[in-house]
Structure 1
Amino acid sequence: MHAVSSELQQYMTGLTNEISRGHFDEAVRLGEKALIMEELHGEGNESLLGEVYRNMAAVSDRLGRTDAALNYIDQAYDIHDIATNNDPGIETLRERSATASYVGVFALKAYLLAEGRDEALADKARLMTRQAEQDMAKVNQLSKEEDADQYEINMASRWGMVESLVGDKQRGLALAGRAIRLARQSERDQQKGLTGRDVLRARTRAALRGMAAVAVNAASRFGATRGMAEKIALKTL
């Protein structure tokens, strides 16, 4: 990865911060500005390009732009998968973990929203989620950090929902509990320029999503409440 200009860095930081604040239209505007910069598409910046694609997928999903979200996340995963295969280090594994998480989430959403359940989508959701978990486990092993990675904090609850609905329910419950425990660590790194209020909001959101994952797990265990589990997941994934 090459050093980037202050302008590109500003757009990329703004994109992630506005997503954290829930200002999705502004996030899209900043992401689009980043994507039209020739610098971002230059040799050596592939990982950054994949990161922008992933963030644009996330915000497109929040705005209900499903086709755009799927297009962005597929491009992001291709970039991060190639990078990890070429150099399976901490940073490449982190990026593939985060991107695989979103691929799994979007596959689960598509599975739940389709009139006829496509088991291929359920398989994709489950397999990509476990890929994300495996990559993050390797990151933790290599980094030897005591604190959880921010990507894991963001995704543990989502991994739990995927497992509860199309995987292993016990695994789903364990992940949901982990998500709640990790919530207090969310956004502890202040290099992103978030305010104290932004951090509190992020931690509250992480805790609530963890509790939602517990609710999804409980409701998914009985046929009569399966529909409720799916509705909770669709609202909080």
Structure 2
Amino acid sequence: MTDEHRGGGSRRRVLAGALTGAAALVVLGVAALNRGDGAPAGPASRAGSTSAATPAASAGRTAAASAEPTGSPVPTWEGPTPPPIDPKLSKGSDRAPVTIVEFGDFDCPNCRHYAQTIAPALKREYLDRGVIRIFWRDSPIRGRDSVRAAVAGRAAARQGRFWEFHDAMFAGRPRLDDEGLRAAATRAGLDVARFDADRLDPALKRLVDADLNFALQLGLPGTPAFLINGRLLFGAQPLATFKRAIEKAR
């Protein structure tokens, strides 16, 4: 089977999942921000937030009919359990009132467009001012090269330089073979020998697969997809659309 067929099969699974998962997306802040891997809880865990990490919601389950009495402050959730997020794949203040989870693919042109044109503006206006915290989840739906690049990102995270690698990957259109990934690693300031060794660790592939399976279970229709305090914003929308969503979430 060709890589194109593999990528097409993944995309078909995403679109099929969208039919069953789309209704759940508006309340998935908890699912996207499971903090079981040591990520500190910020204001998003306060009562009343759609992304509140309460004990009842910490498994990341989507909203369903609650068996609790009317007026209970703690909702009941049902749905896919999220894998933990590596805190090295996040940036911003843990006290930020708005959390943005990006499901991305290093081989996605629209993800590149977002990284080059929208993310810098959000950084200046919101991230640097402590308004948003950003989390990355891998959603490599375009085939084997996407998965290889996602694993490389996890290897960069082991050196504490995920975001530098992320920016190097999206700065241009790097090749996603070993040579291209090493070039991005060099630009990101990584120890390339260690980077190459870590990419062979099957544990990193399992982390990538867990994120991808989670995205498929949520029924996300493609990449990039964002959960802004748990509410879905799909695609590299205009900057004004992101700003409206962030202001509403505040």
TM-score relative to the length of structure 2? 0.25
- Relative to its length, the structure with more helix (as a share) is 1
Indicate the structure whose relative CO is greater, using CA pairs within 8 Å and at least 6 residues apart. Answer: 2
